Structure 1
Amino acid sequence: NVISYNCLIQGMCNLGRWKEATRLLNEMVDRKIAPNVQTFNILVDALCKEGMAAEAQGVVELMIQRGEEPNVVTYSTLMDGYCLQGRMDDVLKVLDFMVARDCAPNVVSYNILINGYCKSKQVDEAMSLFRQMPRKGSIPNTVTYGTLINGFCLMGRLQNAHELLDEMQAHGHLPNLVTYNTLLDGLCKNQRLEEAMSLFQVIEESKLDSDIMTYTILIDGLCKAGKVKAARELFCSLSTKKIQPDVHTNNIMINGLCKEGLLGEANELFKEMEKYGLSPNGCTYNIIVQGCLLNNEILRAVHYLRQMVERGFSADASTVTMLMHLSDDDWINHFRK
């Protein structure tokens, strides 16, 4: 029946086996089993996720030809597919077509549009759409606000992001951790560390449980601002909060220590990673090698380079450049041998 075919088509789409999915669709029709909206939605969703929005559009047109009316999920999925490709003109065409066929966009539809505009750095257009939502019968939700806050942060418009956060709370929407982390990251990346620390305090005092992402963002911000001691203290406090630093957090802390000339501490932290079951990755090795070279610890750099190669990792462009500058050094010649 149609449910069985939908399950099979979904499975084929998940595996990227388009020919089989198409064959199943044709088989359904041959066996007089009419594909329903869900059948077509499965295909549209799968094609859009594979960057094949034009093909997904063709499926929607086929639906209409067969007398199956696309629903809000169909149109929203297609809009998302075009958004992923940055084709906002096509997104608006789908929206207009959707409305013309008496299918009203819902909050998910608007969130997709707003996200598309924000990723295309058209945050003012996103904000205009946001203001239209209540008039169109859709009330912005936490996702809507979070997406716009992220858009403003990406553009460096932190004042607008703060104002939107205040508006969000005034309308009874409590920011979630993702929203707070987004704003925290924006503040840190724009060197507004004092405000970032204040926001971090707000997060700590809220009922939300800060995750490793929250701390990683702030540790990174502190390191880049040259406040490595404060970053180290925050990093060390994680164990008391029962939060396990991941490889990315360790990489940031090791990098901060290396740039501050604290190579001994960086080396100890590197060793502690494996002690706590975290395997250094290629990024970790490149950071520690560059730190050694930066601090003229050539022998130690050679040690980590050998270990890096033994574990199947390669030197990145920055490491290679630093090594090239030391190409006449006896230690590098020794390493090549």
Structure 2
Amino acid sequence: MIMMIMMQRSASSYCNRRHRGLQPDVTTLNILIRGLGHDNRVDEAASLVRKMEAFGEGCKPNVITFGTLIAASCKQGQNDKAIQMLRMMEKNDCKPNVVVYSTIIDSLCKDKLVAKAFNLFSEMKSKGIPPNIVTYTSLFQGLCKLGQWKEASRFFKEMNSNGISPNVQTFSALVDCLCKDGKLKEGNQVIDIMTARGVEPNTVTYNSLMEGYCLQGDMDKAKGIFDLMLKKGSIVDVFSYSILINGYCNERRMKKAMLLFEEMTCKGMVPDTVTYTTLIGGFCKEGRIDDAQNMFSKLKVGCPLPNIHTYSVLLDGLCRNRQIDMALKLFGELEGSNLDFGISLYNILIDGLCTARRIECARDLFRSFPSKGLQPDVKTYTILIIALSTKGLFSEAEALLRGMEEKGCSPDTVTNNTIIQGFLRNDELSRAQELIQEMMTKGFCADDSTAKMITDLITEGKLDPAFHPVEKKSE
């Protein structure tokens, strides 16, 4: 809100100056660019930067101008645009600083474009711009996320040899990646090294370790970390509670999860959408649909509001628990909302309808796609092909297979094996052989179930021994 007010005032100031024949200065324009970037209007901000020099000498873009625009581009994940701005900056004789380079490097690493990030790292060093702790931490975290531990270790040593001491953010990045990779022992060892160096672990560090234990289903140790945080006086935030609640939900220990939920609200914390969505998913796993619906209702009347992931979790839960009428009602509500959603939620509902043997309803939904501007994906087709094959409607299933290929949607291994198994199971052996031979030319690879079915049929004398199943490729 404050940023919008600033942007409006800057825009007003800019317009008044222009109206009175006065030239705006670079400070005013920088505030306006910052506001546009904050409002995700990066293209407009970039256009304004390109026009600034025409306003006069006092309006030449400076390092703050470009840095602001680059940060906004990175925030939107537009790394290529950020690099374009970097090049424009250089052409305008405006020397980039370590903050500008570090911003782009961090964004590239978050998108796992670590090789590109290291190219920029080499570039900045060649221009005499010394990297700082932020630069090193971003690159170090990027290497860890890719599981390139050997290279990360080498880079860590390089960082120390260059006089850059790792801070809590650097160590926390390492702990996070180790724990997500299941290396809990190593994660604890890093925390020991931190404390030995006088670097105190923070909430982010402990949250990462706690999440690591939750991912392994070791809730006693996860709760132990949570209690340690409280004992040490570390800030236990909404994310900390959400991690532990998610762990209990995954282990179907909803009583524990709800106790934590009540505890955090009693402490004055406001659960976020992630917390509510986690609990909704947990109740659905236990078949407690009424409790899931009640939690969803609480979220709808409060703040924050449910997002697409929340609807997806509840819709999937309703379908898995055969509450199809409720699922259809929820989906209708979603279609009437302002939320933007794609094919994945349609796939959930179509799968639920097919599982509940309401195939005609699933077909109707599928046929409505063109009017909604939707394009079915391979999962949509596979769900319907499985349903049709299960019902013995092989001709229709094959027609759907042909239709998806004609529309440029290539069937995957699951799709191909599903339809072949259907033919084999119903003794449509000649048609199955024809399909296999045809699919082999397209790189078809039989899974274990298909290969076993063919082998069994050969053993039973129903298939010619000369016909060899296509064996699953070794991984």
Give the structure 2 partner of residue 125 of structure 1. Answer: 256
Give the structure 2 partner of residue 136 of structure 1. Answer: 267
8 Å contact kept, 2:385–2:397: yes
Give the TM-score, by structure 2 length: 0.66
Q: Please tell me whether Structure 1 or Structure 2 has the larger radius of gyration of its CA atoms.
A: 2
Distance 1:207 1:97 in 2: 43
Task: Say which of 214, 224, 240 aligns to 1:93.
Answer: 224
- Partner-residue secondary structure (3-state), 1:335: coil
In structure 2, relative to structure 1, the CA distance for the partners of 1:16 and 1:320 (3 Å cut) is: closer
The one-letter code sitting in structure 1 at the alignment partner of 2:384 is: M
The one-letter code sitting in structure 1 at the alignment partner of 2:239 is: V
Unaligned runs of 5+ in 1: none
8 Å contact kept, 2:436–2:444: no
Distance 1:90 1:275 in 2: 53
In structure 2, relative to structure 1, the CA distance for the partners of 1:206 and 1:298 (3 Å cut) is: same
Give the structure 1 partner of residue 376 of structure 2. Answer: 245
Q: Does 1:55 align with 2:186?
A: yes
Task: Report Cα offsets for 1:286-310 as digits up to 9, x if no partner.
Answer: 1111222244322211122223434
Distance 2:177 2:163 in 1: 24
The one-letter code sitting in structure 1 at the alignment partner of 2:248 is: Y
Q: Does 1:115 align with 2:231?
A: no
Unaligned runs of 5+ in 2: 1-131, 470-475
Task: Say which of 453, 464, 467 aligns to 1:335.
Answer: 467
Give the structure 2 partner of residue 223 of structure 1. Answer: 354
Task: Say which of 172, 175, 181 aligns to 2:303.
Answer: 172
Task: Report Cα offsets for 1:26-66 as digits up to 9, x if no partner.
Answer: 45445553221111112111211211122112212221221
Task: Kindly state the Cα deviation for residue 23 of structure 1 after the two structures are TM-superposed.
Answer: 4.1
Distance 1:160 1:119 in 2: 16
Give the structure 2 partner of residue 71 of structure 1. Answer: 202
Task: Kindly state the Cα deviation for residue 253 of structure 1 after the two structures are TM-superposed.
Answer: 0.5
Give the structure 1 partner of residue 78 of structure 2. Answer: none
In structure 2, relative to structure 1, the CA distance for the partners of 1:336 and 1:261 (3 Å cut) is: same
Distance 1:12 1:332 in 2: 53
In structure 2, relative to structure 1, the CA distance for the partners of 1:324 and 1:331 (3 Å cut) is: closer
Task: Kindly state the Cα deviation for residue 322 of structure 1 after the two structures are TM-superposed.
Answer: 3.9
Distance 2:143 2:133 in 1: 15
Q: How much identity, in percent, do the aligned residues show? A: 46
8 Å contact kept, 2:311–2:334: yes
Q: Does 1:280 align with 2:411?
A: yes
Give the TM-score, by structure 1 length: 0.92
Describe how 1:39-50 pairs up with structure 2 within 5 A. 39-50=170-181
Q: What count of residue pairs does the alignment treat as equivalent?
A: 337
Distance 2:140 2:204 in 1: 18
Query: Over aligned residues, Cα RMSD in angstroms?
Result: 2.2
Give the structure 2 partner of residue 18 of structure 1. Answer: 149
Task: Say which of 309, 329, 332 aligns to 1:201.
Answer: 332
- Partner-residue secondary structure (3-state), 1:267: helix
8 Å contact kept, 1:228–1:260: no
Distance 1:188 1:318 in 2: 27
Q: Does 1:2 align with 2:133?
A: yes
Task: Report Cα offsets for 1:122-173 as digits up to 9, x if no partner.
Answer: 1221111111112234210111100110111112111111111112223333
Task: Say which of 184, 187, 192 aligns to 2:323.
Answer: 192
Task: Kindly state the Cα deviation for residue 16 of structure 1 after the two structures are TM-superposed.
Answer: 2.4
Give the structure 1 partner of residue 125 of structure 2. Answer: none
Distance 1:152 1:115 in 2: 11
Task: Kindly state the Cα deviation for residue 117 of structure 1 after the two structures are TM-superposed.
Answer: 1.1
Name which of structure 1's ranges 17-26 and 91-100 shifts more when overlaid on structure 2. Answer: 17-26
The one-letter code sitting in structure 2 at the alignment partner of 1:314 is: C
Task: Kindly state the Cα deviation for residue 319 of structure 1 after the two structures are TM-superposed.
Answer: 2.7
Q: Does 1:297 align with 2:428?
A: yes
